[in-house]
Amino acid sequence: TSIHRWLLLSLVLLIVVAMPACAPAAPSSQPLPATLVSNGEEVSITTTPEAATPTPQPSEPVRIASRPGTPYLTDEATYFGSERGIFYALDRETGEEKWRLPTGAANLNRPVVVNGIVYTGGQDGVLYAVDAGTGTAQWQFEAGEVDWSIRDKFINGTPTVLDGTVYFSSEDFNVYAVDATSGVERWRFTLDEEPQAVELPIVDGIAYIGTWGGSLYAIDVATGTEVWRAQISNGSRVTNADGERA
C-alpha cells in the first residue's frame, strides 16, 4: 500500500543520512549517491557530507634577542633594532620575521625608511643603510673618533632624509650630512657640546639642534655652516654666525 511504501522509504532515508557519521572512511567533499528500491520502483537520492574545516595553527612567535627599540611602520613591515645589536624586519600583518641584520651595538632609536632603504644608527656610532626588502646592507658610515673614557659617539635619534641627503647627529659633538645613495660625507658641523636630538628638524633649508651646553643651533644644510646660535642657559643670548650678539 502507499502507507507501507512511505514508511519503507522513510526508514531507508534515515539509514542513508546516518551512514556518513558511522563510517570510518575519511570525509569527502564529493556527493554520495544512494538508490532506494520500494515495491519494485527505484528512487535515487544524492547526499553531500559537510567538508572538514581545518583548524588554524598559530605561528611561532619571533624570538627577539633582547629589549626591542622604537619601531618604524610601513604598509608591509615593522622595522626596529634591539639592545643586543640585531636589527629586525617583521611582516606587519602576521608578525613573521622577514629578515634580521646583526649590527655592532645596541640600536634602540627609531629608524626611517625612504625609497626602499632603511636608515638606522646605534651606539657603535655607525649609520647603516639597509635594503628594506632583503635586509642587505648597502653602506655604513662611522662617526668621528672620540676618547671613549670621556665620551661616546652614539648616533642620536632618527636620521632625517631630505633631497638625497641623510642628516643626523652623534655624541661626538658633530652634525653630519652624508649622501643617501653612497654614504659619502658631504659635511660635518661641530657643536659646543653633545647634541640632544630625538630627530633633526629641517625647515626651509635650516636644521635646528640643541646641546647639553645649553645652545640651540641653526645650521644651513646646503653648506653645513652656522646661521645663528642661541645660548639658552645664559640669559637666552642669541649670536649670529660671526659671534655677534643679535
pLDDT in tens, 64-116: 667 899 999 999 999 999 999 999 999 999 999 999 999 888 999 999 999 99
Q: How confident is the model at residue 197 (pLDDT cuts 50, 70, 90)?
A: confident
Q: Quick one: pLDDT at residue 198?
A: 84
Grid coordinates belonging to 181? 645613495
Residue 158 to residue 120: CA distance in whole angstroms: 7
Residue with the bigger pLDDT between 241 and 140: it is 140
Residue 200 to residue 127: CA distance in whole angstroms: 15
Q: How confident is the model at residue 118 (pLDDT cuts 50, 70, 90)?
A: very high
Mean pLDDT (whole number) for 148-156? 71
Amino acid identity at 11: L
Model pTM score:
0.70
**Strand ranges (E), the chain:** 32-38, 41-47, 72-73, 77-80, 86-91, 97-102, 112-114, 117-121, 126-131, 137-142, 155-162, 165-170, 174-179, 185-190, 195-196, 202-203, 206-211, 215-220, 225-231, 237-240
Closest by Cα among 184, 151, 150, 149 to 170: 151
Closest by Cα among 153, 140, 183, 141 to 165: 183
Q: How confident is the model at residue 237 (pLDDT cuts 50, 70, 90)?
A: very low
